Amino acid sequence: MFIVYENKDYYLFWKPHGLPSTFGKEKCFLEYLVESMPRNGGGTKYKVETDSKAYAPIDLCTYKPFQKYFDPSLKPVKNVEEVIKHQIQAFSKDQEFWLLNRLDNDTAGFLYFAKDLPIFDQYRQLQAQNQIEKHYIAQVSWNIATLDKGGVGGFVIDFPIMHRSSKRMIALKDQKGRLACRFGRGKEHQVQTFIQTLEYDKKSNISTLLVKIHKWIRHQIRVHLASIGFPVIGDPLYGGNEPNEHLHLWSVGFEMVK
C-alpha cells in the first residue's frame, strides 16, 4: 500500500514498517511497486492508500511543530496508477526506478523518486556534497531534553560510527568503542545527528524527537541515540525493546540547504 505525493520534480511514496526499500534477499517495496503496475488496461493489483493517517502515529500535516518542514507544493496524486506506470516503464529495475533514498527495513516513511534524469543527477550531486537535509521523527523513553544543557533547542551527536558486523553498527564514543575498531569492518564514518525535542509526555515518559541528518550512514540515527542511552522505541537491535507495529523513525522529508 502506498501513499503518493508529488511536486514538479519528485514523487513521494510511503513505505510501511517492516519492508526493505530495494532489491535483496527479501521481497521489497520496489517489487510490490512492480506488482501494482496496471497491466493490459486493468487497474493496480494492490489497493493504493491515499490517506496518510493510515500510517502516521500523529497527523504530520497538521501537527504544528512539523508544518514548517512541509513543502506546500506537495499534493496527493489523483491517478496513482499512472505514476507507477511511468516510473516502471521509464526507468529500469537496475536503476531502481530512480529511487533517490532508502530506509531501513524497520523504518517507515517517504521514499523519493525522481521524475526525470536531470532531477536525478541534481539530487545525486547535492547528496554527494552533503547538501540534502533529511528529517526524521523518533520516539525514545525518558526526557531527552535534559541533555540540552545550553537550552539552545537541541544538541548534536557526532561520534564516528562504523560496521561492527554485517547487521550492526557501532558508535566510537569512548576507549571501549575505539578498542572495538579492531573487530570492526570497513572505515570510520564521521557523521552528525541533530536532536530536537518536539514533545515530552510525562504520563508515558516518552519524548518525540525531530532528528536531522545530512550525510546518512546505515543505522546512523539508531546507533547515535543508543550510544547516549536513548535507544529508539521499537528497535530491539540497539536495545529499544521489541518491534511494534508503529514506526519508530518517521521520515518527514528533506530540504535543500543553501
Are 166 and 124 in a shared domain?
no
pLDDT (0 to 100) of residue 187 = 83
Count CA atoms within 13 Å of residue 120 on its CB side: 14
Q: Are residues 54 and 77 in the same domain?
A: yes
Total number of domains constituting the chain: 2
Q: What phi, psi does 253 have (nearest 5°)?
A: 145, -155
pLDDT digits (tens, 9 = 90+) for 215-227: 778 899 999 999 9
Burial 156-185 (b: 16+ CB within 10 A, else e): ebebbbbbbeeeebbbbbeeebeeeeeebe
Claim to verify: residue 184 and residue 237 sit in the same structural domain: yes
Query: Which pLDDT score, from 0 to 100, does residue 53 have?
Result: 46
Q: Residue 167's domain spans which residues?
A: 135-256
Q: Residue 54 has what pLDDT?
A: 43
**Claim to verify: residue 119 and residue 219 sit in the same structural domain:** no
Q: State whether 206 and 227 are in the same domain.
A: yes
Q: Does residue 149 share a domain with residue 107?
A: no
Q: Which of 106, 128, 150 is the last residue of a domain?
A: 128
Asked if 152 and 213 sit in the same domain, the reply is yes
Low-confidence stretches of the chain (pLDDT beneath 70): 1, 40-71, 150-152, 174-185, 242-258
Q: Which residue has the cell 511536486?
A: 7
Query: Cα separation of 49 and 46, whole Å?
Result: 9
- Cell triple for 90: 521509464
User: Is 104 considered catalytic here?
Assistant: yes
122 and 171, same domain (yes or no) = no
Are 123 and 148 part of one and the same domain? no
140 CA to centre of own chain = 16
Which of 109, 128, 147 is the last residue before a domain boundary? 128
Q: Is 252 in contact with 135 (CB distance < 8 Å)?
A: yes
Q: Which residue among 9, 59, 104, 116 is the active-site one?
A: 104
Please tell me whether residues 63 and 81 are part of one structural domain: yes
**Residue 46 shares a structural domain with residue 147:** no
Q: Please tell me the predicted confidence (pLDDT) of residue 52.
A: 45
Residues 93, 41 share a domain: yes
Q: Output the pLDDT for position 236.
A: 85
Quick one: pLDDT at residue 194?
A: 94
| Segments in the chain forming alpha helices (H) | 29-35, 80-90, 117-128, 175-180, 220-227
